[in-house]
Amino acid sequence: MIIDYQMLGERLTSAGLTGKPVNEYSKQEVEALVEACIDAIQPEQQTEYIAQPYIDAKGRLCIPPNCDPRFHWWKGCGMSILEILRELKAPEEVVRKYVRVEELPPF
């Protein structure tokens, strides 16, 4: 999340919200705080990922470091190896290299 802290500080100061305990804010001050926080959140810039995962000529799953992090299965987030292989439409013999037999769906 990207936050414009300068804008947030200016809005909080102009609303008179600095130097006062939060539990003493009026309803209008809480609303001003929430509005200032929402306005300070900037949309994250979309990162363009140059590379895509692929299956090489030897049937190996290749995930370049500059591809979308959703393919970084080893980080414990994003897609599983099976999901990646499905997305790549990998043949059954490639899938069997990477996924335990008991986890395999019927082909």
- Rounded CA separation 65/77 (Å): 15
Mean pLDDT along residues 66-78: 82
pTM > 0.75: no
Answer yes or no: is pLDDT of 46 > 60.
no
In the structure encoding, which two tokens stand for residue 18, read together?
Answer: 């600095």
Mean pLDDT, all residues of the chain: 85
User: In which region does residue 76 sit, left (phi positive, over 0), alpha (psi from -120 to 50) or beta (all else)?
Assistant: left
